[in-house]
Amino acid sequence: MTETRANTPSDRQVWSRALPIFVNYAIVALMMTCAVGVVVGVIQALSSSWNGAYLIVVCFIVAFEALYTARVMRRIAFPSREWASYRIGEVVSIMILLKALIYIMRGAGQFLIDLPKWQHDFLVSFFTGEYLLACVLVLVVYLVCNQFANDLFELESDDATLERERKNDFRNNRAASHKQLTLKVVLVAGVMIAVTLMGRTFLRIIGGGAAAASIDQEGMPSYALGLLAYVVLGFLLLSLTRLAALRAAWYRERAPISPDIAWRWALYVVVFLVVIALVAMVLPTHYSVGLLQLLRYAAGLLISLLQIVIYFLLLILTFPLNLLMRLLGNSPVTPNRPPPVMMMPPPASPDQPTGANPLLDLIQSILFWAIFLFVVGYALSQYLKRHSALLASMRGIPLLNWLMKAVSVLGDWLSRLSGQVTAMVDAGLKRLRAQAELQARMVSPARRLNLRRLSPRERVQYFYLAMARRGSESGLGRKPAQTPREYAATLDSATPEVNNEIDALTDAFIEARYSRHDITPIHAQTAQSYWERVKSALRKKKSAV
C-alpha cells in the first residue's frame, strides 16, 4: 500500500507535467485558429455571400484533437494496421462531424433535401464546394498540428521525462526540435502572408479601381490582425519551448533551477510581446507606398540588367554559330533582344494629399524613414558581424572604408550623445529626488510625529517645544542662553492672560526633562491642556501682529 502511494505521482507533479503541455497545445490551437481566420477572412472578402466563421471554431477543436491524438499515437507503431485504422477512423469522423455541423447550421431541412440526392450521385452531392473547402482547411490544420505535435513532444521537459532520460542515458535533441518548430512557425507565417497578400491583390484586380481605392483606404484589415496574432502566438510558443529546451539542458547539468524561473519567463515574454505588438501597430505604414514602389523599381531594374547580361552572353555564344550558318547559307540565329529597361518614374514623394495636417504627415514620414533606416542598418550590421571576412574585404575598398568609418564615427557620436543624455536625465532625477527629500524634511517634524507613540515624559517635552516654536513664530523666539524660566518670563510679559499656563507648562517641562521619577499620563494630559490654551493665546497674538 505504502509502495503504491510512493510510486503514484502527486497532484502537483501531475499538474506540473500537464500544464506546460496544455499551454503549448492551446497556443498551437490558437495559432491555427488565427491562420484559418486569416484564410476565411480573405475568402469572405472575395466572396461576401460565404460565411465561414464556424470554421474558426472547428479548426480550434480539430487542432486540439490532432495534437492530443498525435501524442497518444506515439505509443502505436508506425506503419501498422492499428495505426492506419486509427488514423483513417479519426479523419473520417472529423469529416462526418464537419458535414453534420454544416447541416446543423443550415437547418435540418437542407439535410432532408440533400439526403435523396446522395443516392443518385453521392460524390457530387455530398462533396459540395463549401464542404470541400472546409475539409481542405480542416485537413491542413490537422496535418500541420501533427507536425507541431511531434516537435512539442520532443521538447517536453517535465521532471519525470528528464529523470528517465538521465537514467537511460538517452537524450532528446531539443535544440534541433526547437529549430524545426521555428522553421514550421516561420513557414506557416510565410504562407499566411502570401495568402493574405495574394487575396488582396486578387480583390484589387477583380474589384477594379474603386475596390483598390477602398482597400488602400482600409488600412489594416481585420484578418491582418489575425496574422499579427498568429506571429505573436508563434513567438510565445517558441519562447516557452525554448524554456523547455533550456530546462532540459540545465537538468542534465544537474544545475538547481530557481522555482520562479517559469513564471518570470512567462510574465516577461507576455509583456515583451504585447509591448512590441502595440508599438508595431502604432508605428506608421502609410508612407511605405513610396518605399515599396522604390523596391519594386529596383527589382525591375535588376531583372532588366540580368536580361541584358544574358543577351550579351548569348550573342557572344551564337556569334561563331552565325558565321557557320552564313557559310552554309542559312539565316543567322539571333537571340531575342531584351526588353527595354523598365524606366519607371521614381517613387512619388509623400507630398500626396494623405491627411489634413501636413505637419503630422511630415512627422509620420520622418518617423517612418528613421525606423526603416534603423531596421536596414541593424540588419546589415548583424549580417556583417557574422561575416567578418566579408567585413575585412569591404574595408579594402576605399569608398566603403570611408563610409564605414563615417558610420562608426556617427555611431560613436550617437553613443556619446546617449551617454550624455542618460547622465543628464540621471542628474535631473537626482536633483528632483534631492528637492523632494528637502521638501519632505522642510515639513515640520511635529506634523509627522505620532503623539500616541511617545511616552508621557516625551509628550510633556513635546508640548513645551511646541510652545517655543509657536512663540518664535509670533516673534517671541527663545534665545539660546535663556533658561526655561527666563523664557517663561518673556512669554508671560507678552501674553499675560495665560501666565499661569505658561509657568505650569514650563514647570512640567523642567520636571520631565531633569527629574528621574516617572511622569504619568495624567501629567502629560495636564501639560497638553496648558499647551492648548497657550497655543490659542499665541495664535491670537500672531494674528494681531
Partner 1 sequence: MSEYFALLIGIIIGLAALLQEDFVLTLLYFVVAAYALSRWWSGRALKAVVVKRIFNNRAFINDKVEIHIEVHNSGRLPVVWLRLHDSLPVELSGSEIFRRVVGLGPHATQRFTYTIQPPRRGYYQVGPLYLYSGDLLGMAEEEGRQGHIDYLTVYPRVMSLTKIGLPSRSPMGTLHHHQPIFEDPSRVRGKRDYVAGDSLRRVDWKASANLGRMQVKQFEPSIALETVILLNLDRDDYYYRSRNDATELGIVVAASLANWITAQKQTVGFATNGADVQSMAADGRAPVLPTEKGRAHLMRILDILARIQTTEKQTPFIQLLRRQRVHMAWGTTVILITGDVNDALFEELFIARRAGLDIVLILCGHVIAADEIKHKAQHFGIQIQQFASEADMDIWRR
Interacting residue ranges for partner 1, rule: CB under 8 A? 178-179, 182-183, 186, 189-190, 193-194, 196-198, 200-201, 219-221, 224, 227-228, 231-232, 235, 238-239, 242, 245-246, 250, 253-258, 260-261, 264-265, 268-269, 272-273, 276-277, 279-281, 283, 285-286, 288-289, 292-293, 295-296, 299, 371, 375, 378-379, 382
Compare residues 130 and 165 and give the one whose CB is closer to partner 1: 165
CB of 530 vs partner 1, minimal distance in Å: 51
Compare residues 78 and 272 and give the one whose CB is closer to partner 1: 272
CB of 182 vs partner 1, minimal distance in Å: 5
CB of 12 vs partner 1, minimal distance in Å: 20
CB of 232 vs partner 1, minimal distance in Å: 7
Using CA atoms, how far residue 491 sits from 487, 498, 502, 537, in Å, is: 6, 9, 7, 11
Compare residues 10 and 388 and give the one whose CB is closer to partner 1: 388
**328, 334, 335, 341: CA torsion to nearest 10:** 170
CB of 160 vs partner 1, minimal distance in Å: 19
CB of 206 vs partner 1, minimal distance in Å: 15
Using CA atoms, how far residue 401 sits from 391, 395, 411, 535, in Å, is: 10, 5, 15, 82
Reading the block at residue 536, the C-alpha cell is: 490659542
Compare residues 321 and 390 and give the one whose CB is closer to partner 1: 390
d(CA 222, CA 226): 7
CB of 365 vs partner 1, minimal distance in Å: 13
Using CA atoms, how far residue 54 sits from 51, 101, 103, 138, in Å, is: 8, 9, 12, 12
- CA angle, corner 291, sides to 285 and 293, nearest 5? 120
Compare residues 306 and 313 and give the one whose CB is closer to partner 1: 306
Compare residues 116 and 219 and give the one whose CB is closer to partner 1: 219
Which one, of 470, 22, 52, lies nearest residue 223 by Cα? Answer: 52
Reading the block at residue 531, the C-alpha cell is: 499647551
Compare residues 387 and 395 and give the one whose CB is closer to partner 1: 387
d(CA 218, CA 212): 10
CB of 128 vs partner 1, minimal distance in Å: 31
Give 1's DSSP letter. -
Place of cell 540588367: 305
d(CA 493, CA 473): 16
Compare residues 1 and 255 and give the one whose CB is closer to partner 1: 255
**68, 71, 73, 78: CA torsion to nearest 10:** 140
Distance from the Cα of residue 301 to its chain's centroid? 38
Compare residues 196 and 495 and give the one whose CB is closer to partner 1: 196
**Who contacts 204 (Cβ-Cβ below 8 Å, separation ≥6)?**
211, 212, 215
Residues listed for the chain = 545
On the CB side of 540, CA atoms within 13 Å amount to 10
Name the burial class of residue 158, with classes exposed (0-12), middle (13-18) and buried (19+) by CB atoms within 10 angstroms of its CB.
Answer: buried
CB of 371 vs partner 1, minimal distance in Å: 7
Is the CA virtual torsion 202, 206, 208, 211 positive or negative? Answer: negative
Distance from the Cα of residue 402 to its chain's centroid? 38
Place of cell 488582396: 200
Compare residues 19 and 261 and give the one whose CB is closer to partner 1: 261
Compare residues 300 and 477 and give the one whose CB is closer to partner 1: 300
Residue 60 · residue 32 · CB < 8 Å: yes
CB of 247 vs partner 1, minimal distance in Å: 8
Per DSSP, the three-state class of 164 is helix
CB of 223 vs partner 1, minimal distance in Å: 10
Compare residues 155 and 524 and give the one whose CB is closer to partner 1: 155
